[in-house]
Amino acid sequence: MSRFVRPQTKTLTLANGDTLVVRERLTAGEQRAHFARQYEHGPNGRLQVNPLMMGAAVVLAYLLDWNLTDDQGQAVVIRDLAADDLARVIDALEPESFTEIRQAIEAHEAAMVEARTQKKTIPDGGTP
């Protein structure tokens, strides 16, 4: 079994039929970047959690593409955007839309963690 994460994607469908293309799993580097976005230097110079960035950090870590459109019906292209550029785009979303996207990605992340946990508890050759 390889110790490397294969760059696979998964398509998530939101309640209204919009779709998100997300990373199936994060690499070690992507996970570090995800965690780094959640912290800031406090007044004493120590790192502290920035609760306002928790949701944005998970979206920025996983989101690769979507089929969302603007008010004129034009596609809002996010594929291959740098994290800072993607952050500006998601910051322009309606708060309810951002929450729906964040919740879908968090549910995906939880499902992937659970699947890996289950896989580790099944002995080789065993059945779930």
- 127 falls within a domain: no
How many structural domains comprise the chain?
1
pLDDT digits (tens, 9 = 90+) for 16-70: 999 999 999 999 999 999 999 999 888 888 989 988 899 999 999 999 999 999 9
For residue 26, the model assigns a pLDDT of: 95
Residue 72: what pLDDT? Answer: 96
Does residue 127 surpass a pLDDT of 70? Answer: no
State residue 122's pLDDT score.
58
Residues 128 and 120 sit within 8 Å (Cβ to Cβ) = no
Look up tokens 């080789």; give the residue.
Answer: 124
Span 68-88, pLDDT tens digits: 999 999 999 999 999 999 999
Residue 19 lies in a domain: yes
Q: Which pLDDT does position 41 carry in this prediction?
A: 87
Residue 52, pLDDT score: 87
Q: Residue 61: inside a domain, yes or no? A: yes
Of the spans 45-49, 89-93, 115-119, which averages the highest pLDDT? 89-93
Domain extent at residue 58: 9-120
Measured CA distances, 82 to 89, 97, 113, 119, 125 (Å) = 11, 21, 26, 33, 42
Report if residue 3 sits inside a domain: no
Distance (Å, whole) CA 50 – CA 74: 34
In a domain, 67, yes or no: yes
How does 85-118 read in b/e, with b if 16+ C-beta sit within 10 Å? ebbeebeebeeeebebbbebbeebbeebeeeeee
- Strands 63-66, 39-41: parallel, antiparallel or unpaired by DSSP? unpaired
pLDDT score of 120 more than 60? yes
Q: What is the mean pLDDT of residues 109-119?
A: 87
Is 106 part of a structural domain of the chain?
A: yes
Distance CA 121, CA 128 (A): 9
* 2: confidence class by pLDDT, cuts 50, 70, 90: confident
